Amino acid sequence: MSSLNWTTILGNSTSGKATFVRGQTIDINQSSYSLLVPWLYYLSAPLATTALWGLWNYVFRLLLLRRWYEKQGISFVNECYAVVGAEIRVTGLQQENKSHDWLYKDKTSELYGTLRGLTLQLYTTNAQLCGELVRKTGRHVDRDTPALHSVGRLSPSAIPFQSMHKLRFRDRKGTLTKGVNDNKRLFEIVERQAHSLLDENKANSSAEKPIDVRAMLEQWTRKTSGEFVWGQANIARRLTIEETDGVFRELPFMTVLNQTFTELRFYSSKFWNRVWFPLAGMPLTHEARRLNRNIAILRSICTDMMNNPEPGTVAAIVQDMNDSLGLDKVFTLDDLITATFAGLDAVKSTVMGCLYHMLNPAHSHWRQALLDELDNLDTQPGPMDVKLMNAPILNAFVYESLRFEPPGSLINNAAVEDFDLAHRGKIYKIKAGTRIVTSIHALHQNEASWREVAPDMSPLSVFDPNRFLDYGERLIGSSCFMPFGKGPRRCPGQAQGALMVKGFLKVFLQSTGRCRIVIPEGQTEESSRFHVYSHATFGLVCEDKGEETLPESSE
């Protein structure tokens, strides 16, 4: 390309012509040129202001805030840079099926800091500080979660994504808690769907074609959660959406909801979307626009299902209660969508973790103890959903699985005002706007905090349900253990999620004989983690009950 001789151009501008180096000329309208100069002059001030604002917010303000916290003894993650924070390291963790909070697991400090885009984040991994934050929730700290820009796009006004002081949070949490409380109906659905899918998968599997546990549990959670919230007839609906390959396909409602939910989570976990959360919702890429279209279709279908509720479903019960309180229909819609997908990936991840530990040959004694307890429950009077919630060995095993690897790893909040965070005589001065996050996975591995409650327990690096058999009530009531959150923001459906997990394990144990785990090629034992951001899976080769010919092996 020819270069321009700008001296010539500017020198001849009054004549209305400019000359290129190679002698070419272009016409310049003198009046247009004279208008351009003032505009450039007037624009220079706002452009410079915007640039300075960006430097202040992205660099200088955060550096000063970081220095403020470092002076208080708060350490920051290694390789934590302006704007991108430690997200380069997080990318490496994700490739190993590890979650963001692995950055903080092996530290000895009470608080750790990092930067992400326009925000500074502090992470708590100490039980006492985590408990103190729970007590300050709703006063000094309140919800500020990146999930609003990922899965929250399906239901943006739902209570998990909103402040406790807005959109009638307390009324809605109360109606949702009551609406999901039909455990008898839930257990009947759990048991029926589990038997159906286990029978189908066992019939179609072999030593050469193991059961894909992730795929099987996806089907089970979709059918169970969908029927519980919306009813069988409503979830039989089919809708046409665009999939990742650009092809439009007609799929069942729950498949579309689960698929879109998972795609939103993984799209938001891309590098720049992690750095600045709102980017995930902007229609800047084909993927974002495709997801936006699919979200609109899902919300339209859910609105129609609300207009035709099936009697006895969560949707019918919650809608009646919310209508009696004069709540906006949009609030009901968003809470019901969230109640539906809350029973999907988190439950699936928990069951996968339980099965993986239970079928480990080193834990065969736990498998037998669980089976004996469940067989004994069948001989006892009373509703099975109640008996499962009070089965000590089953409870301890599920709790230990949730401790060892919680499906979700963070509780996201932010300081709504300046406040003091006190811990054992030390006071941390927290500035308003600082995101302050409970790191559940790191908390569940904090040896010092746990030994204050359970001094004789096994090391936390060891999977051992005995810690909950020996110290169950003390641990569950402490701030050491919070897989469902704590305090006023505790998950309203935690009892139902736990019942789904226990119900599936009961059906699995009592309908299968010995099983062998098959790890897919390329997946290592180290990367076999099953939290909600993991892609890991495993296969199962199982015998029918009464056949005991398979060797117990995870190879």
pLDDT digits (tens, 9 = 90+) for 34-79: 666 676 667 777 878 887 777 776 678 888 999 999 999 999 988 8
Neighbours of 543 (CB within 10 A): 15
Spatial separation of the C-alpha atoms in residues 531 and 346, rounded to whole Å: 8
Is the CB of residue 418 less than 8 Å from the CB of residue 128?
no
The per-residue pLDDT for range 479-515, each reduced to its tens digit, is: 999 998 888 888 999 999 999 999 999 999 999 988 9
To the question of whether residue 480 is assigned a binding role by annotation, the answer is no
- Asked whether residue 32 carries a pLDDT value surpassing 70, the answer given is no
Q: Which CATH architecture has domain 148-408+483-544?
A: Orthogonal Bundle (1.10)
The per-residue pLDDT for range 308-327, each reduced to its tens digit, is: 999 999 999 999 999 999 99
CA-only gyration radius of the chain, Å: 28
Q: What is the pLDDT averaged over residues 122-133? A: 92
Pairing label, strands 539-544, 248-252: unpaired
Q: Which two tokens stand for residue 267?
A: 């799209």
Domain ranges of the chain: 1-32, 148-408+483-544
Q: Which two tokens stand for residue 49?
A: 């202001």
Spatial separation of the C-alpha atoms in residues 234 and 507, rounded to whole Å: 26
Share the mean pLDDT of the chain. Answer: 89
- What is the enclosing helix (H) or strand (E) of 262? helix 253-268
The per-residue pLDDT for range 374-420, each reduced to its tens digit, is: 999 999 999 999 999 999 999 999 999 999 999 988 899 999 999 99
3-state secondary structure 355-375: HHHHCCHHHHHHHHHHHHHHH
Looking at residue 259, its amino acid is: Q
Spatial separation of the C-alpha atoms in residues 495 and 249, rounded to whole Å: 36
Burial bucket for residue 470 (CB in 10 Å: 0-12, 13-18, 19+): middle
What is the pLDDT at residue 2? Answer: 43
- Asked whether residue 7 carries a pLDDT value surpassing 50, the answer given is no
Q: List Cβ<8 Å contacts ≥24 apart for 258-262.
A: 258/218, 258/221, 258/222, 258/341, 258/344, 258/345, 260/154, 260/291, 260/294, 260/295, 260/298, 261/151, 261/154, 261/341, 261/344, 261/345, 262/345
The per-residue pLDDT for range 232-262, each reduced to its tens digit, is: 999 999 999 999 999 999 999 999 999 999 9
Residues in the chain: 555
Looking at residue 85, its amino acid is: G
- Asked whether residue 96 carries a pLDDT value surpassing 90, the answer given is no
Place of tokens 């229909």: 329
Looking at residue 121, its amino acid is: Q
- pLDDT bin (cut points 50, 70, 90) of residue 105 is low
Q: Alpha-carbon torsion 387, 389, 394, 396, what sign?
A: negative
Q: Which two tokens stand for residue 201?
A: 């998968």
Spatial separation of the C-alpha atoms in residues 197 and 214, rounded to whole Å: 12
